[in-house]
A and B are shown apart, each in its own frame.
Chain A
Amino acid sequence: MNGAAAPQTMTPPARAAGMPPTFYRIGAFAISLILVALVILISGASPVTVIGSMVGGAFGTADQIGRVIATLSPLLLCAAGLVYTFNAGLYNLGVEGQITFGAIAATWALRLLHPEGATASLLPPPVAIALAIFVGGVGGIAWGLLAGALHVYGRISEIFAGLGLNFAATGIAIYLIFGPWKRPGVASLSGTQPFDESLWLGTFGKTEATPVALALGLIALLMTIVVMRNTYFGLRLRAVGRNLRAAYVLGVPARRQLLSAFLICGLFAGVAGALQVVGVFHRLIPNVSSNLGFLGLLVVMLVNFDPLWILPVALFFSALNIGSLQLPLSLGLESSLSGVIQGLLVLFALLGRGLAQVYGRKPEG
């Protein structure tokens, strides 16, 4: 009974009275909606008008739809990448730093290919852009593997390794923006000198959305769905994530799986960072990641690490983000309301899942 007995005393006695697990999930979702409505009421507006205003703000004009898509694309990349690390049992909070470092690497590549003051880039612009995105991916991999190595070989929690590297990446970006890469004459938080317009990624009409970014996001998501469902790699990743020791004893090369998860997540995040540079900001700015990595974490937690549901949830979160920008103008409310809503939804989804696990009736088996 040594040791084995202690955890059993932790299980609550309420099992007999358990409801089916879906009850807790739906219940938690309902409570989160009620709380969202309450928050809106407290801030002095009606939930219905707020929802209307947000929908209008997200999908009212082509421009707004474009912005939703411009947010969705990197979000899909990050969320897809995080599916790998989550399934490997890793909380890769370093995804933000991986975006930032990807953006730095892409900027570096573009500055090499199109030195300041030159009239044209050394390579044809499409090739240069593709190369920058590639280099961004490599930068993301480097930052991801660094966190991975610290975790796997240095036994540092991947959460702390990731958070530390986030600060480091932001620090490097700010150093570059104010130091070696500062705009001629002025150094400012608004970032480096914008690139030549020939190096901007093409957009849908006059909107901010770029087809390339959207395509990459969707490809990454599709690939992730296939990998997680149909490949030995995905199966081994899930095995390692659920029980590292047993997977290792069963012959799964556990370290390699963990590092691969960091590598792929770093790759996707790095590409997302590069796309932020070539497609959205056209320069390196200090907050180039725009918290998309953290938003990606929320998305993946909300879908319970199952990639199939990422697209609708990521779209919903992007629309919330863009739609809420309308709130200060139309209703005089804070746009940070979207963050409150996203946070509440995820918190209660996790709570519902936890309650279902603890109190839910087990399926017959």
Chain B
Amino acid sequence: MHRRKARISRRTPANSSTVKVELRHIHKRFGNVHANDDVSLTVEAGTIHGLLGENGAGKSTLVKILSGFISRDSGEIVLDGRPAHIQSPADALRYGIGMLHQDPLDFPPLTAIENFMAGSPTTPALLNVRAAERNFRALCRQFNFDLDPHARVSDLTVGERQQLEIVRLLANGAGTLILDEPTTGISATQKTLLFDALRRLAQEGKSIIFVSHKLEDVEALCDCVTVMRRGRVVGELNLRANGAGRAHGDWPAGERFDVAARIVEMMFGRELAMPVKPAIHQDETALVLEGLLLRSDRLEMHIGHLAVRRGEVIGIAGLEGSGQQLFLLTCAGLEHPAAGSIYVSGRNLTRQPYSAFVKAGVCYLPADRLREGLISGLSIQEHVALRMPSRGIFINRAAAAQEAERAIATFNIRGRPDTAVEQLSGGNQQRTQLALMPSPLNVLLMEHPTRGLDIESTLWVWQQLIARCNQGTAILFASSDLDEIVQYSDRVIVFSGGRISPPIAAAALTADSLGQMIGGRF
């Protein structure tokens, strides 16, 4: 690593592909959401800069502004001391800024070499395939990428598509690379290759922005990390400050540990709220998971045994995308486990269709209310009618109207029975979702039950949920709000990088212990 430092200092300013990137006071609003609130960030040439934060923290918005996919409301982008005018991805590429998206933005039906040539700023009328191929092979050799130029992109793995994007961006003169969650869905070998390539590029003087919510990757790779929360920069940490350029392995175990703890602290805040959930009094189990194996193309997770009692609330903590959604979908019967069994109220529902779960009193409330939970274009009353136990052919309008009025009154929804759900505010949509919950309800699975709600609505929602618990409903919910998790859970499980912690009583948790678990130490 000392060698690296030497090389960096030797780089010449004349080299056009070495760029210091500065973002100054960036603001961006989406409707009521202040996605970037006065964000400033400096990335030195020759460094790898980590950008950490939960989903919704604003990091994707920020890098999309830098790469021209989103226009900023105000603020300045300065490259090597000169203001840059970036309005489109093509502009950004002219300034040498290239972005690697989480899901590679390539052309799957084309071959690797065709992709490589596409998007080149200097495309002549006739393609020179042979020259492109020479260039392609040379770049691949340089980074030990084993890519067949004539393979179809649709046949490549995500990791290989990333490699293709990297060489394509480099060939197009990128001096700044932005990588958005690049380590999701790639193999360990590909990750090593990627990290080696990125280190080498940094040594060559390129600036690299590494967006992630994986602590371990940031720790292993980055020179410097900026943490964002709720649209703002909440902290910056120079990971190589002590002993200038010390490699990851050189950190004493205790010190590494401190770094992780400090980052988690920046991401989530220090003090945890006090638990408010009343104790449960029932011993009957509502949901039992036995030897459950969950598998997606990105993750594989295992749960030995988990028994959730009636009236119990299990909070699911962890950085977003650690498999919480897959877990909840599996418990809801919307996905099938690769192995293991699921029991609801003592009945084995493993591999049963979703309708059997519904019949057993399982209900799933997705985070994306308008995309997965409610049906745009239908009114509150029509949702109620859809949920009513339909006996007969014709809709009982009177009953549906009455039921809708009742739901609107009890759940305090600001709308009329004939109001289309997409016209409701986020809070009222969540109230509508809650109003549509069936009764009796044995197991309720929720993602981010109060995301986007104001404090009053949040309290109200939890009042309703705890009322359900008192009637015997078991609740499992995932949230990125640690306060919410500690306040309302009886027990907490933590998801981290494909591993699931054993359940821990919420009262026994401290900010430190929870932070370490989220960072993957349990």
- A119, CB-defined interface residue at 8 Å: no
- B453, CB-defined interface residue at 8 Å: no
Q: Mark A329-345, 1 if CB is under 8 A from B, else 0.
A: 00000000000000000
CB distance from A51 to the nearest CB of B (A): 37
- Given A238-B378, A246-B374, A232 and B102 touching (CB < 8 A)? no
List the A residue with the shortest CB-CB distance to B422.
A365
- How many residues from A make CB contacts under 8 Å with B? 28
> Is there contact, CB below 8 Å, between B378 and A232?
no
Question: Does more than half of chain A's interface fall in helix, strand or loop, or is it mixed?
Answer: helix
- A118, CB-defined interface residue at 8 Å: no
Chain B residues whose C-beta falls within 8 Å of the C-beta of A233 in the assembled complex: 393
Cβ < 8 Å to A, chain B residues 408-441: 415, 419-420, 423, 436
Cβ < 8 Å to A, chain B residues 36-64: 55-61, 64
> Is there contact, CB below 8 Å, between B394 and A239?
no
In the bound complex, CA of A247 to CA of B375 (Å): 7
Cβ < 8 Å to B, chain A residues 206-241: 230-233, 235-236, 238-239
Cβ < 8 Å to B, chain A residues 1-46: 1-3, 5-6, 8-9
In the bound complex, CA of A365 to CA of B70 (Å): 29
Q: Of A5, A231, A242, which is within 8 A of B60 by CB?
A: A5
CB distance from A160 to the nearest CB of B (A): 16
> Is there contact, CB below 8 Å, between B373 and A246?
yes
CB distance from A306 to the nearest CB of B (A): 13
In the bound complex, CA of A226 to CA of B448 (Å): 40
Chain B residues whose C-beta falls within 8 Å of the C-beta of A5 in the assembled complex: 30, 35, 60-61, 64, 70
Q: Of A2, A9, A362, which is within 8 A of B70 by CB?
A: A9
List the B residue with the shortest CB-CB distance to A243.
B375
> Is there contact, CB below 8 Å, between B376 and A243?
yes
> Is there contact, CB below 8 Å, between B61 and A235?
no
In the bound complex, CA of A241 to CA of B69 (Å): 31
Chain B residues whose C-beta falls within 8 Å of the C-beta of A236 in the assembled complex: 386
- A164, CB-defined interface residue at 8 Å: no
Segment at the B interface, from A60-68, A133-141, A175-183, A249-257 = A249-257
Q: Of A9, A230, A249, which is within 8 A of B373 by CB?
A: A249
> Is there contact, CB below 8 Å, between B55 and A1?
yes
Chain A residues whose C-beta falls within 8 Å of the C-beta of B64 in the assembled complex: 5-6
Chain B residues whose C-beta falls within 8 Å of the C-beta of A250 in the assembled complex: 373, 375, 383, 386-387, 436
- A111, CB-defined interface residue at 8 Å: no
In the bound complex, CA of A253 to CA of B31 (Å): 35
Q: Mark B368-382, 1 if CB is under 8 A from A, else 0.
A: 000111111110001
> Is there contact, CB below 8 Å, between A242 and B395?
no
CB distance from A18 to the nearest CB of B (A): 16
List the B residue with the shortest CB-CB distance to A238.
B378
CB distance from B232 to the nearest CB of A (A): 13
> Is there contact, CB below 8 Å, between A235 and B35?
no
> Is there contact, CB below 8 Å, between A365 and B420?
yes
List the A residue with the shortest CB-CB distance to B329.
A249
In the bound complex, CA of A122 to CA of B35 (Å): 77
- B71, CB-defined interface residue at 8 Å: yes
> Is there contact, CB below 8 Å, between B385 and A235?
yes
> Is there contact, CB below 8 Å, between B373 and A365?
no
In the bound complex, CA of A246 to CA of B70 (Å): 29
Q: Of B355, B376, B377, B394, which is within 8 A of A230 by CB?
A: B394
- B358, CB-defined interface residue at 8 Å: yes
- A309, CB-defined interface residue at 8 Å: no
> Is there contact, CB below 8 Å, between A253 and B390?
no
Chain A residues whose C-beta falls within 8 Å of the C-beta of B299 in the assembled complex: none
> Is there contact, CB below 8 Å, between A230 and B395?
yes
CB distance from A232 to the nearest CB of B (A): 4
In the bound complex, CA of A249 to CA of B373 (Å): 7
Chain B residues whose C-beta falls within 8 Å of the C-beta of A362 in the assembled complex: 423
In the bound complex, CA of A231 to CA of B181 (Å): 47
Cβ < 8 Å to B, chain A residues 124-168: none
Q: Mark A249-286, 1 if CB is under 8 A from B, else 0.
A: 11111000000000000000000000000000000000
CB distance from A238 to the nearest CB of B (A): 7
Interface set of B (CB-CB < 8 Å, partner A): 30-31, 35, 55-61, 64, 69-71, 102, 180-181, 334, 354-355, 358, 364, 366, 371-378, 382-383, 385-387, 390, 392-395, 415, 419-420, 423, 436
**Sampled A-B contacts (22; CB under 8 Å):** A1-B35, A1-B59, A1-B60, A2-B102, A2-B181, A6-B70, A8-B30, A9-B69, A231-B395, A232-B393, A235-B382, A239-B378, A239-B386, A242-B376, A243-B376, A246-B371, A249-B364, A250-B373, A250-B383, A250-B387, A251-B387, A365-B419
> Given A235-B378, A250-B436, list of 11 further CB < 8 A pairs?
A1-B56, A3-B60, A5-B30, A5-B70, A9-B70, A232-B390, A232-B395, A242-B377, A243-B371, A246-B373, A250-B386
Top 10 nearest A-B pairs by Cβ distance?
A: A365-B423, A243-B375, A232-B390, A1-B60, A1-B61, A242-B377, A251-B358, A242-B375, A2-B60, A246-B375
